[in-house]
Amino acid sequence: MKKFNIRKVLDGLKEQASSSVSSGQSGAPENNLMHETLQSENFQLCKTVRHGFPYQPSSMAHDPVQKILAIGTQSGALRLFGRPGVECYCQHESGAAVISLQFLINEGALVSALADDSVHLWNLRQRRPAILHSLKFNRERITFVHLPFQSKWLYIGTEKGNIHIVNVESFTLSGYVIMWNKAIELSSKAHPGPVVHISDNPMDEGKLIIGYEAGIVVLWDLKSKKADYRYTYDEAIHSVAWHHEGKQFICSHSDGTLTIWNIKGQGKPFQTITPHGKQPKDGKKPEPCKPILKVEYKTTRLGDPFMILSGGLSYDTVGRRPCLTVMHGKSTAVLEMDYPIVDFLTLCETPYSNDFQEPYAVVVLLEKDLVVIDLAQNGYPIFENPYPLTIHESPVTCCEYFADCPVDLIPALYSVGSRQKRQGYSKKEWPISGGNWGLGTQSYPEIIITGHADGTVKFWDASAIMLQVLYKLKTAKVFEKSRNNKEDKQNTEIVEEDPFAIQIMAWCPESRMLCVAGVSANLIIYRFSKQEITTEVVQLLEVRLQYEVNDMESPPEGGGGGDRDLPTPGAASPSPQTTGPPTHPSTSSNSSDGVRDNVPCLKVRSTPLKQSSGYQVELVVQLVWVSGEPPQQITSLALNSSYGLIVFGNSNGLAVVDYLQKTVLLNLGTVELYGSNDPYQRQARSPRKARQPAGGLCDINEGSASEDRCKSPTSDHRDNSFSRSRSSSVTSIDKEAREAITSFHFCETFARKGDSAITPCLYVGTSLGTVLAVALNLPPAGEQRLLQPVIVLPSGTLARLKGSILRMAFLDNTGTFLPPAFETWYEPNAAGADSEERDKARKRRPVSVSPSTSQELQESQYAVVCSEKQAKVIALPSQNCIFKHSITETSFVLRADVVQMNIGNCVACFCANGHIMTLSLPGLRPLLDVNYLPLTDMRIARTFCFTNLGQAMYLTSPTEIQRITYSQETCENLQEMLGELFTPVETPEAPNRGFFKGLFGGGATSLDREELFGETQAGKASRGLAQHIPGPQGLEGMKGAASGVVADLARARIALDERGQKLGELDERTAAMLASADSFGKHAHDMMLKCKDKKWYQF
């Protein structure tokens, strides 16, 4: 029986309906000329991987055998790290903060305790970890969790001071409870406070040390269920740590002191240390210091022990950065950190607490960074961090994502980026080296570019679901550093903070040309070179981009636009509204009455600029103040390497710049683009009150403080969601009579209706939904291109849509995507034979994939236009709309891209209501519509990008990039591409007890916890204390949840090890019994000889 597919039936119906609607609209006969290859079943939406530093971390754990690290966050996220490239992200459904993490060492499992008093068991033996069991406490708040090595009993300390015990296998509570009043008895009249520490004596599992916040420590005997010793100190306790021999322990206190106690010495501590306290000469107590939040005490076989602590600085060190202190023998090293310390862990050679620890590194989790310190090298250098955790080094302000880039691009960027690396790192391998890489089949190069608030641009290799920084560009070097002169700032700057922040980026991967638009209404054009150069004078253009509606009379109702004719385009020299030759210094100045005029926002440096290999400045373009009016921020930008042109626009108009000849070709207000055919009635504008221009840049910072300061060019931010008028990048036309330029597209197409030949063109989209064409007349390539002027001529309106224009693209008559023409990369600073190659490259015709002009087809091309509300496909050169689709009525589109999939093209849209949609091309049939995000905030709105082959990304937090796929094929292959966290590793052997310790006692003594905590002896736990919640994988044990061949092999190996161990034990037992039998036989024979000749009465 044939399988019935309802999706295909619906697709067919939609296609018929779409065809009938569009034919009704345009009457064009070409509706069914093209076969669409993409169908609904080619699309599926799923998250792939999350990169970056875990946002707002709260806890950390390390498995010393598997060598993997886990970090929990305040939003309930869990990030797991193995070797570079092995990362995993999980999320607790409740979203409560993770307060504690404990690995089941070498078992492939992790216990997490949350602030909502729930405890969860995670199975790490699968590529996507899942929760096996959960336990929710109802009456008590969890404050501390401890799981001894190779134990299945988990100790949970609470705010009330009690300790409960959980069986990790079944996730049930034991009836054994240590009540706070029994633990302290009469040693204190008051409540001892929450439990801040639990750990068992390294040499005696039957003895448990319990630290209470108020300053009491109790050594509890688990078998006799009573306290052996109590230790009281008059300062609050923050942490406790054992010496590995189990005879001493150390406490850290709130007054910056450390107390060392002998377990049998009650009353006073054996030693009190104030690591950062000034010792008075008269023998009094040192001055109190800040609390020592954590201390670890680690021993070495051959040298002095390490005492590592966080906090404890003296109060007079105001403004000093947070520190980690390493005390080793007589030396004390104070290591300053860039951010506050959340937690730290010492990595040791052994997982056994009763052996010499041999520490070799310290992992320090900071609020915004992860640092690993090498303890084995002098000076304690840090390891070079191989994870992509520096995304947020400066707040991200914009992103671009490129899939299927030229293959030589990543090696080129890596080679120039590798020279930027810092020196002085530890020479050792990165110590967190667990897990295995996935076996991904996805082999095309992917690059993510991030723009930042401090003006840096970072290039990342994002191939095969990994992320690695390739190259970092500092754009602020082009400008002079602003002196802290308030008058100077008032003169020019239009933003109070981050004047160098990147707002928009345009990049041509084939030619490697880069253009960035900054928040201070500036543009920088970069070329890529492998050679260092020194630029004596940075080339500069200053542009007056002015809105002139207030100079015109208001047009009659229903009438056209302005009274001025279009300026003569194509002038090689700058137009009257443009100042600034390509040399310094600029002629800008304030006019005599103090009104700022011709002043740029930033000052370009006048001294020579040394430019290392990589991206080098070609040209700087700055918008200037006009009659006391600040320049409006740039809202749209496009670059074409084949034409040698840059175009940018804002709420005033647009300017076209020839970066080869360093001239402004066109500088028009938006109204002037229409000529005499302006369809809108525009009112004279009132003077602007605020200095801040209409389109502000949000630097996507963490707090809500920045939300008031920064508004997106595309929206207002209220209650973490969106609401706005139909115009995109500025306020509505009724208020300000402004129409902003929102998008550009360079192409080789038909400039006017009915044209017979294609020519280079620029298509312009506005915030009122208009698409206008600008014809470009380019001189021949080579020498003439640098000498003859480029003619630029606006040539009328192509289409009108509802909402602001977001994206334009072109298809040929078969429906194949037509990318803009480009120039292939050449070395710009070549000399000798290389320069000849460069000249040849320049003289070659640029690569263009447009159809040839000899085609005599009725409709040679199709323009795809997408706005905030709808999408249209327009046949060219007839300019008939052949397909139209309303994307959303109640919301609006934030990002739209025309993307190439493996077997066709589609339009991908992301809406403000969180929906992700794809539409077929050219038919605009809906193929995918998923309500992906319930709430969309400003950060996601500004950073969401689609790219080819079904990939997309956005900034999910100020520090993390979330990548997603909308391709069914990638979703199916994702499991193989993900890395494995758990790998079968043999547990190291337990330390040898030694002959004398075995003979005379001493050494570690074990405890039968099963007997002590099991139901038989301890009874059942109180029914209402906690609720057991089975995970989505059912009640199977963790080992049973392991899947795949690797896990089967691991289980087989474990079984063989266990069997070998049991056989070894049996062999030893047999040998002992044999020796015992021999001894018994010998004694019996001696007795027989002794008694042989005795009479019965002699006994």
| Residue type, position 996, single letter | F
**C-alpha to C-alpha distances, 1030 to 99, 124, 1027, nearest whole angstrom:** 21, 17, 10
d(CA 782, CA 777): 15
- Non-local CB neighbours of 618 within 8 Å, separated by 6+ positions: 525, 526, 527, 539, 659
Joined together, the tokens standing for residue 365 give 């989790």
pLDDT of residue 1082: 76
Joined together, the tokens standing for residue 113 give 């305790």
Joined together, the tokens standing for residue 21 give 């609607």
**Entry pTM:** 0.83
Listed residue (237, 216, 220) closest to 229, CA to CA: 220
pLDDT of residue 781: 87
Q: Which stretches of the chain score pLDDT less than 70?
A: 1-33, 187, 282-283, 317, 440-442, 483-492, 547-594, 681-737, 832-858, 993-1007, 1016-1019, 1021, 1033-1068, 1071, 1091-1099
pLDDT of residue 714: 35
d(CA 801, CA 872): 8
pLDDT of residue 15: 47
Listed residue (640, 987, 1002, 621) closest to 790, CA to CA: 640
Listed residue (686, 820, 801) closest to 742, CA to CA: 801
CB 545 within 8 A of CB 584: no
Joined together, the tokens standing for residue 111 give 């216990």
Phi then psi dihedrals of residue 682, to 5 deg: -115, 135
3-state secondary structure 55-69: CCEEEEEEECCCCEE
3-state secondary structure of 464: helix
**C-alpha to C-alpha distances, 997 to 205, 350, 560, 856, 960, nearest whole angstrom:** 17, 20, 102, 98, 53
CB 691 within 8 A of CB 494: yes
pLDDT of residue 1030: 85
**C-alpha to C-alpha distances, 671 to 400, 503, 681, 1015, nearest whole angstrom:** 30, 25, 11, 83
Residue 524, classified by CB atoms within 10 Å of its CB into exposed (0-12), middle (13-18) or buried (19+), is buried
pLDDT tens readout for residues 360-390 = 999 999 999 999 999 999 999 999 999 999 9
CB 967 within 8 A of CB 919: no
pLDDT of residue 919: 97
